[in-house]
Chains A and B, each alone.
Chain A
Amino acid sequence: MRYDVVIIGGGLAGKTAATALQAKGLKCAVVADGLSLRDVDLKEFVAAGGSLFSGDRVVKANVEDGRVLSLVTERLEDELLVADNYILATGKYFSRGIVADMNSVYEPVFGLDVEADEDRSGWFDRDFAADQKFMSFGVRNYGQGRVALEGVVLTNLFAAGEVLAGITGIEADAKEIIVKSALDAVANIN
């Protein structure tokens, strides 16, 4: 299926990006794994002609020469999602936008470059109430939500919201930070 933009993630960042891009007259699709804001806040997006793939998740991305070509999802199987541009707004650990295993922290869909300590012992503070470093781990932001794969900045994929390094989602003004990051990412797309 072909779109101008595919947004991965239906939380605050994904919804903000989707509605902003739709307002620019672009044909958008949102892939939202699990219920987040989708049923509440994406109604208008759908009513205005946006496509929502709910309960579905991107399992693989086809990337070539610094460009995302298409996405494979769990439910659509052989029917690829194809777009000119893509937004990654999958959140952090809870929504599996960022995954931590015993020895590494990674972004599971594209394998994007992340900011995270290599040494596990530096991930957390044993003092429960202290700032926990792992909370700010995430995809490395090369400015305006641009992201890279093994050091090569991708030309048509932009990240927004908590999936980015430095955004924890627990800041006092977390909502403003997330919305701003989504609008930054959207600014790359015309």
Chain B
Amino acid sequence: MQKQNISEFNFEQCQKCAICTTVCPVLANNELYPGPKQAGPDGERYRMKNPVFYDEMLKFCLNCKRCEVACPSGVKVGDMIQNAKLTLGKRSHVLRDTMLASTDFVGPLASAFAPVANLALGMKPVKAVLDATIGVSKHRTMPKYSSQTFESWFKKNKQSEQDAYKNHISYYHGCYANFNFPQLGKDFVAVLNALGYGVHLLDKEECCGVAMISAGMLKQVRKKAQHNVDIMKTAVEAGRKIVTVSTSCTMTLRDEYPHLLEIDNSAVRDSIVLVEKFLYQVISKGDVKLVWKPDYKAKAAYHAPCHQERLGLGNFTIELLRMIPGLELTLLDSHCCGMAGTYGFKKENYETSQKVGKELFDGIKAVNPDFVACECETCKWQIEMSTGYAVKNPVSILAEALDLEATAAANK
């Protein structure tokens, strides 16, 4: 008698239709990568028999999860590949991968010496040395570090005012807003405060671990994940939602923790909400009022990052941006930018990363916007480096388009 079974990652639901291979951005540009069908369900069948069948070429997967979004049968193709990499992959370039992935270890160091670090990382000889020694591509423009972290700015300037608001949320800012681009965090606080929400930090937030998962640092990342779940529990018990800005952090905190790391986040998962969804919901319920600047005018092109496609929340961003009078919005065709977090930094991936992004870059140039709207920080690095167009997070766009003082007065 035939039995119905439920396997991990919906493995047995694969019908071999191969539609995942049509959307894989790596397969089209790197012949060494076997593609999501072979790397995923086909390979899994062999790996289950004997791990010796693990193919090291799986390292080329950039974890965009487009295969999962495309799958009509609900197979978790991307998770399956990540899991194989995590449990069976050999780690090459240990030093580089550890450095790239340990964002909240490297971040404070680089921030402390920001002027020196930024200067050095911009210099050709330094880049040549990094390329030759640890395998960070010399063609890559390195992200800038900020000398003042978001957290230290917030504690010094804003924290004491937050209890005075009538509503409260906890803010998971992520490493990028903290170490590289505190302006994003400042914009977040400005918008949320104007809408009448007090912003609170979590108790010693750590990196979500998305880059460590890519680097196969299972032990380290599980420790971070457990810590983050614990501190988020405290916030949830205080009745606060945990609002996030990064789509990749959000996907990791909500989905990768239980699916890949076997960390139980059920007590906090439903309370972790991407800022665009949070804002759309409070605005559409009529909980808050918005006052726009009368003279705001801009032309934007929206790029939905891969992990936003996976989260499936892009329509919240689109609806929010459409609310802005004076913003002319074009939706770009959905393509991966090729960066995929730390992937594009790696010497062996640089060329693939640029080829993958080409369709998106061409699309942006055809629109010729004032800026690209995008929720993802690493898409920002890639798009800004490869096209010259500025990329703005939707929260920053809102901060520019809203009359923040008048909005704050309306929500008192």
Contact = CB atoms under 8 A, between A and B. Distances in A.
B327 to A, nearest CB: 15
Contact of A34 (B4, B72, B277, B333): B72
A43 B363 CA distance: 14
Contacts of B388: none
Interface stretch (B180-188, B312-320, B397-405): B312-320
Interface string A63-82: 00000000001111111000
Given A77-B270, A96-B72, A96-B73, 15 more contacts: A34-B19, A34-B69, A34-B71, A34-B74, A35-B23, A35-B72, A43-B333, A54-B334, A55-B309, A55-B312, A76-B312, A76-B313, A79-B280, A95-B72, A102-B2
Interface string B73-117: 110000000000000000000000000000000000000000000
A104 interface: no
Contact of B22 (A35, A43, A73, A94): A35
30 contacts: A1-B319, A33-B72, A34-B69, A34-B73, A35-B23, A35-B69, A36-B72, A39-B23, A39-B333, A39-B334, A46-B331, A51-B315, A51-B318, A52-B315, A54-B69, A55-B68, A55-B69, A55-B310, A56-B312, A73-B312, A75-B312, A76-B313, A77-B270, A78-B270, A79-B277, A79-B316, A95-B72, A96-B74, A101-B4, A102-B2
A53 B313 CA distance: 8
Please list the 7 inter-chain residue pairs (A to B) with the smallest Cβ-Cβ separation, ordered nearest first. Answer: A34-B72, A75-B312, A55-B69, A35-B70, A56-B312, A51-B315, A95-B72
B270 A34 contact: no
A47 interface: yes
B311 interface: yes
B281 interface: yes
Interface in B1-58: 2, 4, 15, 17, 19, 22-23
B68 to A, nearest CB: 7
Contacts of B333: 39, 43
Secondary structure class of chain A's binding surface, majority of residues: loop
Given A46-B331, A47-B331, A51-B318, A35 B312 contact: no
B19 A35 contact: yes
A79 B22 CA distance: 31
Interface in A33-51: 33-36, 39, 43, 46-47, 51
Contact-size category for B: 20 to 34
Contact of A94 (B72, B284, B319, B331): B72
The winner among A35, A76, A79, A96 for most chain B CB atoms within 10 A is: A35
A95 B13 CA distance: 11
Contacts of A34: 19, 69-74
Interface string B273-312: 0000100110010000000000000000000000001111
Contacts, number: 67
Nearest to B15: A94
Contacts of A35: 19, 22-23, 69-72
A62 B277 CA distance: 22
A105 B70 CA distance: 25
Interface size on A, as a range, is 20 to 34
Interface of A: 1, 29, 33-36, 39, 43, 46-47, 51-57, 73-79, 94-96, 101-102
Interface string B326-351: 00000101100000000000000000
A1 B22 CA distance: 31
A74 B311 CA distance: 10
A75 B311 contact: yes
Contacts of A29: 315
Contacts of B19: 34-35
Contacts of B319: 1
A10 to B, nearest CB: 10
Contacts of B23: 35, 39
Contacts of B281: 79
Contacts of B318: 51
A47 B71 CA distance: 24
Q: Give the most central of B69, B72, B270: most A CB within 10 Å.
A: B72
A29 B310 CA distance: 18
Contacts of A56: 312
Given A33-B72, A34-B73, A53 B315 contact: yes
A153 to B, nearest CB: 29
B70 A1 contact: no
Give the residue among B4, B280, B315 with the most A Cβ atoms within 10 A. B315
Interface in B357-388: none
Contacts of A57: 74
B18 to A, nearest CB: 11
